[in-house]
Every structure is written in structure tokens, then in C-alpha cells.
């Protein structure tokens, strides 16, 4: 793990540090669903409202959306919003446009910066654009009930956050409309660490079963959130983020399926690197990516969400 970040695990108050789209071609697969090779493009202008780093992230997302729209089209998801005005209840039908495909794997990604000259002679303001060309594997979206997940900076759903200060704790809120199985990985750079199941969940070798409708707050020993089949809350791993760089980019990978799924090839045991220091089971990104793609192709109930976070030095 990079020297720029450190994740800490705490048991009963004991601080235990550990380093934790346009053109498309159909491809055959071993499952009933057909994979499609897609290409997309997007550009985002850098200005006072968006930094160059955020513009690059946005351009990547928009390029994937462009590829999915070109290959699969869009649909309008309608929902009803309720409002109260002058003691009268109003029902407003809202429509959100969504793409009909889901992104499975990035094959290539090219991000460039382009400086645009002023269009008027008296204008001396140059514009900076971030452009992204992306190619990947995708398929038509399945109509699975989606689980809800958010990163938090306190053990309450109201504390939703993607930016953390150095020394701040990370929590994960999760709720699913269906019973299923859960696993969570933390990524920095090319290395991933399995952070859920917890280190002391010896009986859960692969994943942990969660119950439909229950509200879970992971990495919190607070007993008010849903528990995991009599697992002692005082043994919960609590994660504390730190950064020596000004900004450290990290990602949380959340995996869910209606049926149990195998663990990728990890180190057999967590490694103790000090009296109270533990290095959790680890996998490099390339092997994780191959394992993830295999599960998403062969298990149509398998769902995956990647949450980007950043830790800011105080």
C-alpha cells in the first residue's frame, strides 16, 4: 500500500493499524447474455466550478455513458414526487433518463487535455478541455432490484460523503430489497484489500448474508444498525483514513449477489506485521478485474458498485 494512505482497524477501542462508447461489436460468452464491445467519447470543460482532476473523472463517466447510449439506447424511469402546498398534497410525475446498458470492463481509455483558443480577437481567455476516448465490454441492462449503498463520515445515513479529512473514519451504509450476499474491497493504486467480511468473521470465508430491507452501517460498532447473524459488534473493524499527500484518491468496491459467490485468489491469511498491526488479505487489480468480470457474466444476480472517495490532508 502507498505511504500516502493508512487504514486503521479498531477492536473495542483498540487502534490496530493495517495497510489495508459509438461503434460496437457483439461478442459471444458462456452465459445467455450477449456481450458487446462498445466505444464512446466525451469532453468536459475545466473552469472555476470544476477542477482538472474532477473534469477527468467526469469525462470518463460521460464517455462510458455515451458508449452505452449508442449501443443500447435509453429509457425514461418514472417516479412520483409528493409535495405539499397550501395544505394541498400535489403528486408530480417525474422522469429520469437512463441508459439500457451496463459497463462491465474497460479495454482501453485515453484521456487528453486540449486548449481552445479564444474565438474573438479581443478575447484573451483560453479554455481548457479534458477529452476521453473509451472502449470496453458491456451488455443490455438486467431488471434487477438495485441495492443502495453510500459512503459516510459518521454512522448515520445523513452523513453521506465522498471526501474525507485525514484522520476521519469511513462508514458504509447499505440496504437491499432482496436477501443476498455481500463482500467489500478497498482499493488504492493497483492493490485491493478485502475489508468485509471483517477480519474476525472466521465463519464467513467468502461473503456475508444480508437480509432484505435491513439497514446496515458497516465498520461501525454501534448496535443500532442491523447485525450479522450474532456476530459480536465489539469485534467490528473500524476504518480510519489518513493521507500524507494533499489528496489521495481511493475506491470502495461493493459486491452483492442473491447467491453465494467465490472469493478471488487472495493471500490465505491476513499478515501480522506488528504486535497489533494486521495487513488484510490482498489481491492486485488485474486479477480482481478478471474475477469480477467472470462473476458479472456468469451470475445475472451479481451486482457491483464502485464508490470513489478521496482523503484530504489537514
Give yes or no for a contact between 65 and 99, defined as CB atoms under 8 angstroms apart. yes
pLDDT of 82 > 90? The answer is no
Q: Kindly state the average pLDDT of the residues 63-78.
A: 80
pLDDT at 270 (0 to 100)? 61
Element (H, E) at 23: none
Q: Are strands 180-188 and 191-196 parallel, antiparallel or unpaired?
A: antiparallel
Of 173, 174, 205, nearest to 281 (Cα)?
Answer: 205
Of 179, 143, 186, nearest to 309 (Cα)?
Answer: 186
Lowest mean pLDDT among 6-20, 47-61, 101-115, 170-184: 6-20
Sketch the domain layout of the chain as residue ranges: 5-20+142-312, 34-140
pLDDT at 277 (0 to 100)? 57
Element (H, E) at 105: strand 101-116
pLDDT at 139 (0 to 100)? 86
Give yes or no for a contact between 144 and 303, defined as CB atoms under 8 angstroms apart. yes
Q: Which residue has the cell 494512505?
A: 5
pLDDT tens, residue by residue, 159-217: 999 999 988 999 999 999 999 999 999 988 888 888 888 877 765 566 788 899 999 99
Distance CA 6, CA 311 (A): 10
Other Cβ atoms closer than 10 A to 307: 15
**Between vectors from CA 29 to CA 28 and to CA 30, what angle results, nearest 5°?**
140
At 149, list the grid cell. 449503498
Q: Are strands 303-312 and 163-165 parallel, antiparallel or unpaired?
A: parallel
Which one is predicted more confidently, 119 or 291? 291
At 218, list the grid cell. 458497516
Phi/psi for 229 (5° steps) reads 45, 60
Distance CA 68, CA 272 (A): 44
**Between vectors from CA 65 to CA 63 and to CA 70, what angle results, nearest 5°?**
95
Rg (CA), the chain: 22
Q: Kindly state the average pLDDT of the residues 60-73.
A: 90
Instruction: Assess whether the previous peptide bond of 309 is cis (omega < 30° from 0).
Output: no
pTM, two decimals, is 0.68
Element (H, E) at 288: helix 285-298
pLDDT of 15 > 90? The answer is no
Q: Where are the alpha helices (DSSP H) in 42-199?
A: 52-72
pLDDT at 52 (0 to 100)? 86
Amino acid at each position: 500500500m502507498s505511504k500516502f494512505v493508512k487504514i486503521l482497524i479498531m477492536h473495542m477501542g483498540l487502534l490496530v493499524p493495517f495497510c489495508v462508447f459509438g461503434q460496437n461489436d457483439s461478442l459471444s460468452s458462456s452465459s445467455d447474455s450477449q456481450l458487446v464491445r462498445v466505444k464512446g467519447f466525451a469532453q468536459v470543460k475545466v473552469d472555476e466550478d470544476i477542477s482538472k482532476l474532477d473534469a477527468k473523472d467526469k469525462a470518463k463517466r460521460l464517455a462510458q455513458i455515451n458508449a452505452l447510449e449508442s449501443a443500447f439506447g435509453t429509457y425514461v424511469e418514472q417516479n412520483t414526487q409528493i409535495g405539499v402546498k397550501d395544505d394541498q398534497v400535489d403528486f408530480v410525475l417525474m422522469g429520469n433518463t437512463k441508459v439500457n446498458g451496463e459497463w462491465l470492463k474497460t479495454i482501453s481509455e485515453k484521456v487528453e487535455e486540449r486548449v481552445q483558443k479564444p474565438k474573438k480577437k479581443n478575447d484573451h481567455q483560453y479554455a481548457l478541455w479534458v477529452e476521453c476516448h473509451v472502449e470496453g465490454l458491456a451488455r443490455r441492462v438486467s431488471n434487477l432490484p438495485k441495492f443502495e449503498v453510500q459512503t459516510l463520515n459518521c454512522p448515520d445515513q445523513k452523513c453521506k460523503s465522498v471526501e474525507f479529512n485525514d484522520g476521519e473514519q469511513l462508514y458504509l451504509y447499505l440496504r437491499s430489497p432482496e436477501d443476498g450476499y455481500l463482500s467489500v474491497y478497498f482499493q488504492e493504486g493497483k492493490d485491493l484489500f478485502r475489508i468485509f467480511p471483517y477480519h474476525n468473521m472466521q465463519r464467513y470465508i467468502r461473503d456475508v448474508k444480508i437480509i432484505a430491507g435491513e439497514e446496515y452501517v458497516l465498520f461501525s460498532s454501534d448496535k443500532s444498525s442491523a447485525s450479522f447473524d450474532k456476530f459480536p459488534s465489539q469485534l467490528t473493524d473500524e476504518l480510519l483514513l489518513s493521507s500524507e499527500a494533499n489528496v489521495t484518491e481511493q475506491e470502495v468496491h461493493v459486491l452483492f449477489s442473491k447467491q453465494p459467490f467465490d472469493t478471488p485468489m487472495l493471500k490465505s491469511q491476513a499478515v501480522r506485521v506488528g504486535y497489533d498491526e494486521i495487513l488484510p488479505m490482498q489481491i492486485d487489480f488485474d486479477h480482481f478485474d478478471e474475477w469480477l468480470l467472470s462473476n458479472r457474466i456468469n451470475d445475472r444476480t451479481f451486482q457491483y458498485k464502485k464508490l470513489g472517495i478521496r482523503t484530504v490532508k489537514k
